[in-house]
Amino acid sequence: MEVLIGITGKDFVLLTADTTSARSIVIMKQEEDKTRELNKHNLLLTIGEAGDAVQFAEYIQRNIKLYEIRNGVPLSTKAVAAYTRREMADSLRSRNAYQVNILIGGVDPKTGTPELYWSDYLAASQKMPFATQGYASYFVMSTMDRYWRPDLSLAEARALLQKCFDELKKRFIGNLPSFLIKVVDKEGIRTID
């Protein structure tokens, strides 16, 4: 029932995850943050198996941080995505595979060029202009196919995202009352409404 959506704009990536934390028929909390900041310009969103999602996200987060401390330079979005996919692939043929689906959004600190990567529990990975994980895909990808254009402004991207939320509210049986929305741009990562 969890949902991740990512949209690249002119010089930013707009990323959102639903904030519902539920088990079976019970909603445990409504303010869950399914994102983890990897470095100043890269954000990881994870959903999937209980425990795995957080475990994997924090494992990647710690290792990206370690790289920065060791080497004094941050990793690019492409390198972060490649590293994360590699970890997922290595876990796949081990005793305990991570059952986690993710989105990674980031910008190049110098140029502000945005990049969004979609990656799943089978370690498939693809750079995309807009992407979703979860049941949302069935409803929201077609909305974005229709309305997404390159070089969207933040306001336009937020409006597109609203169209996605409205579509889910209308057509998706799962109730997702609230979403956490974040923007990654040259200045860094921040939360918006």
x/- contact string, 138-177, with another protein (CB under 8 A)? ----------------------------------------
Q: Please identify, using beta-carbon distances, which residue of 18 and 115 lies nearer to another protein.
A: 115
- Binding status of residue 102 toward another protein by CB under 8 A: no
Q: Please identify, using beta-carbon distances, which residue of 21 and 76 lies nearer to another protein.
A: 76
> How remote is the C-alpha of 144 from its chain's centroid?
16
Selected binder of another protein within 23, 26, 29, 71 (CB under 8 A): 71
Please state the closest distance from residue 11 (CB atom) to another protein, in A: 19
Q: Please identify, using beta-carbon distances, which residue of 76 and 99 lies nearer to another protein.
A: 76
Please state the closest distance from residue 157 (CB atom) to another protein, in A: 27
Please state the closest distance from residue 177 (CB atom) to another protein, in A: 38
Q: Compute the distance between CA of residue 88 and CA of residue 151 in angstroms, rounded to an integer.
A: 31
Closest CA to 100 of 88, 116, 86: 88
Q: Compute the distance between CA of residue 118 and CA of residue 46 in angstroms, rounded to an integer.
A: 11
Please state the closest distance from residue 172 (CB atom) to another protein, in A: 35
Residue whose token pair is 């991740």 = 4
Q: Please identify, using beta-carbon distances, which residue of 79 and 141 lies nearer to another protein.
A: 79
Radius of gyration, CA atoms only, the chain: 16
Report the DSSP pairing between strands 100-107 and 114-119: antiparallel
Q: Please identify, using beta-carbon distances, which residue of 17 and 44 lies nearer to another protein.
A: 44
x/- contact string, 76-95, with another protein (CB under 8 A)? x-xx-xxx--x---------
Binding site for another protein (CB under 8 A): 71, 73, 75-76, 78-79, 81-83, 86
